[in-house]
Amino acid sequence: MVKGRLFVISGPSGVGKGAICHKLIAEKGLKFSVSMTTRKPRAGEKHGEDYYFVSKEEFNEIRNRNGFLEFAEVYGNFYGTPRLEISEALESGRDVLLDIDTQGALNVQKTCDDAVFIFILPPSTAELRRRIKDRGTETEESLNRRLSAAIHEISLLAHYDYCVVNDDLDVAAAQVGAVIEAERLRVPKDTKDVTELIDQYKGGI
């Protein structure tokens, strides 16, 4: 069985990563990794769908037993990717999508060298400010904090394989979708998987 691929999407807060992921999950048959967070739910967010909302104690307990593939502190809250769900999906041949921050992505790079890293850029800093403001969930102080963090995140672009500018959601989602399709067409890196593929043809003689 050829293992699934791991796609990691990062980008500044408010850039529209969530909307892009949402569009692609069903369309590309991806498994979305639901993260755990100690952040409080925003209006409309569902436990188990957007995040698993947990207490700091629960988070630490999972962290201590090495239950996260990666975790990071982002804007004062903890976020972590549950390890088991992902490894099960990948082992069963399913492609998995992670929406995580740059610290998390850089940590995933250390352990998963065949993961594909995609960065979502805003059309401009002014547009990013407008989008975060329109969400109506940030104070002026936290808006400025998120914008400085955005510039820091963008400065890590060289660690990624692809970058997509989210000016128009449909276009950006189609471009990320094209990356996923292209990666699915790659000749497998593992010689065992290539042999398996070739053997399917040999079996047909």
Cα–chain-centroid distance for residue 140? Answer: 27
Residue whose Cβ sits closest to ligand 5GP: 104
| Least gap, CB of 77 to ligand 5GP (angstroms) | 7
| Least gap, CB of 165 to ligand 5GP (angstroms) | 17
Q: Is 16 in the site for ligand 5GP (CB under 6 A)?
A: no
CA 95/CA 98 separation, integer angstroms: 10
Q: Is 35 in the site for ligand 5GP (CB under 6 A)?
A: yes
Q: Give the count of residues interacting with ligand 5GP (CB under 6 A).
A: 14
CA 19/CA 59 separation, integer angstroms: 26
Q: Is 112 in the site for ligand 5GP (CB under 6 A)?
A: no
Closest to ligand 5GP by CB, 65 or 189: 65
| Least gap, CB of 50 to ligand 5GP (angstroms) | 8
For helices 125-135 and 140-154, the axis angle rounded to 10 degrees is 140
Closest to ligand 5GP by CB, 149 or 196: 149
CA 6/CA 96 separation, integer angstroms: 5
Q: Is 166 in the site for ligand 5GP (CB under 6 A)?
A: no
Q: Is 3 in the site for ligand 5GP (CB under 6 A)?
A: no
Which tokens sit at 75?
């804007």
Q: Do residues 93 and 193 lie in contact, with contact meaning Cβ atoms separated by under 8 Å?
A: no
Q: Which string of x and - marks every residue 71-110 that binds ligand 5GP (by CB under 6 A)?
A: -x-x----xxx-----------------xxx-xx------
User: Which spans of this chain sit near ligand 5GP (rule: CB under 6 A)?
Assistant: 13, 35, 39, 70, 72, 74, 79-81, 99-101, 103-104
